[in-house]
Amino acid sequence: MVLLLPPLWLTFAWRGPLLWSWQGGWAWLANGLAVAAAAGFLWSTRYYDMGVFYGSTQWRTREHAAEDPGGLTLSPLHRHVRHPWYSLGLLILWTRDMDEARLTSALCITLYLWLGSLLEERKLLAFHGKAYARYRERVPGLVPWPGRSLSADEAHALCTRRQARDATPMHDDA
């Protein structure tokens, strides 16, 4: 989060002539998408353990391990894209009017989120093994793509199969 502060500061500190500005119906569409993305972000928090996300659970329990505390779980948004929060953030970011500073910030933040998604992928593969690899083959990382999503039943089966294997003493899912 600290690495996002300089690009955000640039966004508001250095103003210049607009490179593009959404006008008319396009402005309505851009703002509607941004509001929908913000609403999607808020709605999706119910599928995350926000205490673990913020670190308050680890602080309270004095847990210092970096392991994923739960099994593989897929929210409704995860059925369409592997990193929904990053995708929603990118949608908000790129639906704003752009001047040079905002464009620079948008490019830096996009790069940050893309690299972060790659690092997160490595961690998720290590924690969830073949189940995550199968999920990754079917669902795109940041941009939803027609025909590349899971049905609710497929997502449930993928998570259930992983949890059933984890409950047995021997499994080769790593």
Taking only the tens place, the pLDDT of each residue in 49-92 is 767 666 676 677 776 555 555 677 889 999 999 999 999 999 99
What pTM value is reported for the model?
0.78
Per the CB < 8 A criterion, the answer to whether 69 and 52 are in contact is yes
* Token pair in block for residue 2: 């600290």
Q: Which residues pair with 20 in a beta bridge?
A: 98
What domain range is 40 assigned to? 22-167
* Token pair in block for residue 139: 């669902």
* 7 lies in some domain: no
* 84 lies in some domain: yes
CB-based contacts of 87, cutoff 8 Å, min separation 6: 81, 142, 143, 144
* 3 lies in some domain: no
* 173 lies in some domain: no
Per the CB < 8 A criterion, the answer to whether 89 and 42 are in contact is no
* 1 lies in some domain: no
